Structures are given as C-alpha cells and as structure tokens.
Structure 1
Amino acid sequence: MMANSDYTLIDSKTGNLALKIYSIKKDNPFNEVQRLSYYSLIWIKKGGGIAKSDFAEHGFGENTLFSFSPYQPFTLDAPDLEAEVIHFHPDFFCIHKHQKEVACDGVLFNNIYNPPMVKIDMDSIVKLGMVVDQMRGEMQQPELAQYELLVSYLKIFLITASRLKNEQREEIEGKVNQNEEPFVLQKLKDYINQHYKTKHSASDYADMLTISPKALAKLTKSYFNKTLTDLISERIIIEAKRELYLTDKTVKEIAYELGYDDEYYFSRFFKKKAEVSPLIYRKNVGFAKATMA
C-alpha cells in the first residue's frame, strides 16, 4: 500500500473514520473476510479473481467497481491487485437519507438480486478518476467547507457508478426478457418487497406464485445464484440495518416490525447473517440523530 496515497478524514465529534481514500499496489488486503463498519467502494484497476459476497461468488477482472455496505461480508480472492479504495461512514454520507439525490441504495448498495459490482467503461474511467483526484487534493489541503465539497465529490462518484450499473442491468434484462421465466422472478421480487416482514419461508412465495417450491428454487438459483431463503434473509437484514441506523427503535421493536415475536431469536438470526449483534452494529455504525443534517 502506498503511504503517500493514503488520505483519512476523522469525524471530530466521534473520533471515528469519516472518509478514507487509498491505493493498493499488488498487495491485497481483501483476501480475508471483511466485515467493515462503513461503506466501501473498491475500484479494481489491474488484476482479477473471485469475489465472494453474502451467499454468492462472482468472477471479476480489471476496471470493476465493487460496492459493499457496512458489515456486508466479502472477500476478493486474488493474488495481486491494483485498486483505488474509498471508505465512508454513514455519518459522513448516509445513502438512505440522500436517496432522492443519489439513488444508489438498491442499485450499488443493498441490491440482493444483482452482484455488488459494475464494469467501468472507458468514459467512466476518466470521470471517476478525476473525481478521486479531486477528493485527494481536497483532503491534502483542507480549506473552508471541506466536508461539504468532499460530500459533493462522493455524490458525483456514486451517481456516475449508479447510472452505469443501471444501464448494464437494463441491457442484461433486455436479453433475458424474451423468456417467460424472468416474469415469474419479477413477481417474486415484488412479493418479497411486499411481504418480507410477514412471510419468511420459501414455500410462502411458491404458493403465491402457484409454482412448486422445487421449480422456484431452481429458477432462483439459476438467475440470482442464491437460494430463495437467502434472498428473503438478505432483504430482512437490509431493513433491520436501515432501522438500526435511521431510528432509535429498540431491537425488540425492530424485531416485531419484521415479523419476529421473539427478540432473542431475531438477534441470533441477525448475528448469524451479519456476523455482529444488532446492538454492536448500532454502536459501531451509529444511528442518525434528529440533530444531524
């Protein structure tokens, strides 16, 4: 790792990392499982290998951008990498609170149906490279309203990447929409979004779609590279994390709203999926107080 390319901004109120930008040159710190308490954008410039995230594996090569949410487990299994890395804490920039401005929640982050990666094309290489350089320059020489300017640069980066991922997703969906199967899966997405708080079993969704559980399981695995149970669990965990950060509701209240009468069962379920308890997640990621902008 090149020390002269490592820039870190610390939150003066909490003492925690707010924003960090650094380069990787050949060494790969992501070979081991990562569970970071902030958002991570990892732009692979050279190298390739296998990315493992949540319940799936994906091959990747150069000019791939990965986007991981707080405590989303991942590894990048590759011998050598050259990459640009941006870490930012939710308190520095909350994608939930700024969804209307940036619209990366559900696209770059928290998208249970698509891999957490996007291929960077030639035009975007130039745009994103310029933004990273501008962020580095601003962090190197702090000036008036540094925080606001850095947030603006980060927004440009996220919007550019989100647009690109949407374009690539539409191309893929356009190719497969000639079949009947994606219609069933689109209905499945709709049903999960509507009912994940009350229906937690795969058989519930098979019944709603009037399809056998075995056939639905095969379809889900084929198109999403995940089981239906995995998809349901991920959707529940995403909402739980959002509630833990955005509200001061108790774990018991959040559990009940997500269809769990037993707070302790829910806490065990959360810890099994997120590798951290709900209380530790809130402690490290924090929650957005009413006084925050």
Structure 2
Amino acid sequence: MSNVFTLINPQTGNLAFKLLPFDDNSHFDHLQRNNYFSLIWVTKGKGKVKADFAEHHFEENSLLAFSPYQPFMLCVSEPIEGIAIHFHPDFYCIHYHQKEVSCNGVLFNNVYQPPFTRITSEAAATFKMVLDQMKTEIQNAELAQYELLISYLKIFLITASRLKNEQLEEMKAVPDSKEPFILQDLKDAIEVHFKTKHSAGHYAEMLNISAKALAKLSKNYFNKTLTDLIAERIIIEAKRELYMTNKTIKEIAYELGYDDEHYFSRFFKTNADVSPQLYRETVGFGKMVN
C-alpha cells in the first residue's frame, strides 16, 4: 500500500517514526522483534495475536501495542486492514515521559493483560484526526517537525491509555471476570520480589498456596505460566535499565538477582532473542532526552 511515511534518525540510521497503512497481514504474519515501539490499529478483520508466551483473540477496532524486541505475530481469520505507528525510543521515550502519558505498564509492558485495547467510536474519531495531522506533518520538513509529531503521538498514547484503564476498571466491576484475590496478591508479590525471587515455588510458599494450584490459576487468568510471568517482569526491568542507565550489564544482572553475568545474558537472549549488548546498541540508552 502506498502512503507509507517514514522518518529516519540521521545520527543513528535507525527508524525514528513511521506510519504504515496496511490492507493485508503480510507485515505481521511472521514473528516480529523490532527495535522500536509498535501501535497497530486494526480497523477491519480479526484473528489471533501471539505475543510473548501467550495467544489472544482480537476483533476489528483493536489497538495492539508492543515494546522494542517484544516478540509478536498476527494470525488472521478474517482479512485485516488498518494503520500502524512505529516509533523508536530515541524519538519518544515512554519511560522519560511516564508522568505525561502514563502508558508504561498500561498499553506497553503490562505482563498481566492482553496486548490490545478495544477502540470505541469516540477514540476512533480522535485517532483518525491525529493520524491525518501526522500524515500532513511528516511530509513537512519544516523546523519543529519532530516536536509537532511528538505532540500528536502523545495525544494518541494518552487517548489509548485512558481507554485501556477504563476497560480494566470495567472488567474489575463485572463479577464473572473478577480475578481471585490471590492473583492480586501474586501481582503485588512479583512487583516487590522479582529481583530476588525467580522461582514459581517461592511465590506459592509466600502466598500459602500449593505450587500446582497457583500455576493453574496463573494459566487460567493470565494465559501464561507463573514462570513466564516472572521472566517477563525481569526482562522488562532489564530492558528499562539497559535503556535508561549506563550501568554495566554485570551491574544490571546483579541488581536483578543474578551473580553470574553470563547466565543473565543467556536468560535475556532466550527471552528477548537479542543479547543485552545488542539491545543497548539498537534501542539506545538514554542518549537523547526528548
């Protein structure tokens, strides 16, 4: 499809920002591991998204969100159409701007929820308007082009994050979809202890439940094993540290509870399909405050 708009960072040669309209699944029908953030708005069609360790069904008018090097692919049951926004952390870093857009842990890096948001007609109208502005601006190489594109991207991210939060609140209010209290305790325990406790058994012991029962609950509600949840949480923190700080890989490994840097690097590569060093080289690290 024509009308693909791309900005390249002249300093690094990395993709900075891209708008990609699509009218089939050819871009996403194979495993993706990109060094940028992706927002994929599916306006028509439906299918399954495979992301990290889980599979989820999505319908038309879904916004899918993926972080750098998060593995994903789409398997469609009805042909899809829509538009994707790709942006590199050097172009806009959601970690630096967490207070402004609050999308980290909501749209992106939310290990407990499917990686998509259902788009309402109101949000769709906002997205359409913002995307039209982006298309106009990306063709305009005037001064402050980046600043305006980032402003539109922020509107898009804030709209989507608010919507996802609303949907999460609605889910909590529906009796049938309520998570057992123990799963909230599990999430809290992982947040507090993931740097020091890496095995599923630790959490079962802590929550006073059998490992088997906790494993079953985790699989039923999160569509992931408990081991996968813990691994994913560690990888998200490792990626954040690699990007946000200039700590050595050995220091990051140690802070995440790994005495052996090589063991940590193998664990990271197994889960992110890229070495910590290459992640830092291609995603960057806090070099450019936006």
Q: Distance in 2 between matches of 1:6 and 1:130?
A: 17
Structure 2 residue 12 is matched with structure 1 residue 7: no
How far 1:177 moved relative to its partner?
7.8
TM-score for the superposition, normalised by structure 2: 0.97
- Aligned to 1:267, which of 265, 271, 278? 265
2:26: which partner in 1? Answer: 28
Alignment of 1:141-290 (within 5 A): 141-176=140-175, 182-289=180-287
1:195-241: CA deviation from partner (whole Å, max 9, x where unpaired): 00000001101111111111111111111111110100000000000
**In structure 1, what is the equivalent of residue 66 of structure 2?**
68
- Structure 1 counterpart of 2:182, one-letter code: V
Matched residue, 1:292:
289
Match of 2:210, as an amino acid? S
Report the residue type matching 2:133 in the other structure.
Q
Query: In structure 2, do the counterparts of structure 1 residues 221 and 9 end up closer, same or farther at CA, with 3 Å as the change threshold?
Result: same
Does the 8 Å contact 2:171/2:177 carry over to 1? no
Q: 1:177 & 1:76 partners in 2: Cα distance?
A: 28
CA RMSD, Structure 1 to Structure 2 (Å): 1.3
Aligned residue for 1:255, secondary structure, equals helix
Q: Pick one of 48, 63, 69 that aligns with 2:46.
A: 48
Q: Which runs of 5+ in 2 are unaligned?
A: none
Cα distance in 1 for partners of 2:26, 2:60 equals 14
**Alpha-carbon distance between aligned partners in 1 of 2:269 and 2:60, rounded to the nearest angstrom:** 33
TM-score for the superposition, normalised by structure 1: 0.96
Shift of 1:27: 4.4
Which residue identity does 2:45 align to in structure 1? G
Query: What is the rounded CA distance, in whole Å, between the counterparts of 1:219 and 1:188 in structure 2?
Result: 10
Distance 1:146 1:98 in 2: 19
What letter matches 2:161 in structure 1? S
Q: CA deviation at 1:106?
A: 0.1
Instruction: Give distance in 2, aligned partners of 1:27 and 1:193.
Output: 36
Letter in 2 for 1:146: Q
